[in-house]
Amino acid sequence: MKKRVYLHPVPVRIWHWVNAISFIILILTGLQIRFIGKTEWISFHTAVKIHSVFGFILLANYLLWFCYYFFTGKFFKIYIPPFWKPVDWISGMIRQALYYGYGIMVGKKNPHHPSPEHKFNPLQQVAYLMIMMVCIPLQILTGLVLWDPVKFAWLGKLLGGLQVVSLIHTGLWVFYGFFIFVHIYLSTLGHTPLAHIIAMITGYEEEEEEH
Ligand code: HEM
């Protein structure tokens, strides 16, 4: 028997898809900006304009995510791994990694059963926490400095100078390329290949009923 679990409320779904579209556009236009002269599928100036617009959309959208998770108090329940129970935490991550690396191929069941309060498995928790609290904020802050190095000179100095800022901004961009690839692959590992993706559209995930 399957039961339907409401995992992704409306603000999270809006955030997620605006974020995903913005990321793809930012990566593509970022490539054009970085490899000026080597590729020209749109002009450099158009790429910069589109990149800036979607950079600000990403910033506003990040604030939506931040306000939703912090004002509802859900951030701590959903995103913070149980560091204070290191044995449970580490064994949970190993169990999940063994499932992805081996169990799934021999038909074992996913050890994690998502619920609205515990929707991420231990590996997702660490990955999403890093993305949302370290990578995206750093990407936005370094993006602001590169967008207007004069207005945000103070921020550039704080982050270690323009060269460091540029290195962080482009370095993270390489990392996201990798993240999106793994993230999309993992999001096809539900009970059907589209189950998790449909859940991120409708809000509801189908779960095997526990007996
Ligand atoms: C077309 C591209 C994408 C697809 C198909 C996709 C798919 C999904 C799905 C199905 C989920 C539900 C939970 C899960 O199974 O992990 C999810 C959650 C999530 N995704 Fe994506 N995603 C995409 C792009 C991105 C990008 C670009 C980012 C950030 C850089 C991202 C960050 C996240 C985060 C942080 C969550 C957890 C959201 C929450 O419930 O609070 N995703 N994604």
Q: Take atom 15 of ligand 1 and give the residue whose Cα is closest.
A: 187
How far apart (Å, rounded) are the C-alpha atoms in residues 118 and 7? 9
**Per-residue model confidence (pLDDT) at position 210:** 60
Q: How many residues does the chain have?
A: 211
Show Cβ contacts of residue 116 under 8 Å, excluding neighbours closer than 6 positions. Answer: 5, 6, 7
Domain boundaries, the chain: 2-208
Contacting residues for 31 by C-beta, under 8 A, at least 6 apart: 39
Ligand 1 pocket test, pick from 120, 183, 185, 205 with the greatest ligand atom count within 8 Å of Cβ, gives: 183
For position 173, what pLDDT does the model report?
81
187 alpha carbon – ligand 1 mean position (Å):
8
| Per-residue model confidence (pLDDT) at position 3 | 85
CB within 6 Å of ligand 1 — which residues? Answer: 8, 12, 16, 19-20, 23, 124, 128, 131-132, 176, 180, 183-184, 187, 196-197, 200
Residue with tokens 């900006």: 33
* Per-residue pLDDT tens digits of the chain, which is 211 residues long: 778 999 999 999 999 999 999 999 999 999 999 998 888 889 999 999 999 999 999 999 999 999 999 999 999 999 999 999 999 999 999 999 999 999 999 999 999 999 999 999 999 999 999 999 999 999 999 999 999 999 999 999 999 999 999 999 999 988 888 899 999 999 999 989 999 999 999 999 987 766 5
Matching residue, tokens 């400095």: 145
**Residue of minimum CA distance from atom 39 in ligand 1:** 12
CATH number of 2-208: 1.20.950.20
Residue nearest to atom 23 of ligand 1 (CA): 20
125 Cβ partners below 8 Å, 6+ apart?
Answer: 78, 79, 80, 81
Å from CA of 120 to ligand 1 middle: 11
Are the C-beta atoms of residues 203 and 16 closer than 8 Å to each other? no
Give the model's pLDDT for residue 75: 97
Which pair of structure tokens corresponds to residue 152?
Answer: 């945000």
Which protein residue's CA is at the shortest distance from atom 37 of ligand 1? 128
Q: What is the per-residue pLDDT for 31?
A: 93
Ligand 1 center from residue 128 Cα (angstroms):
9
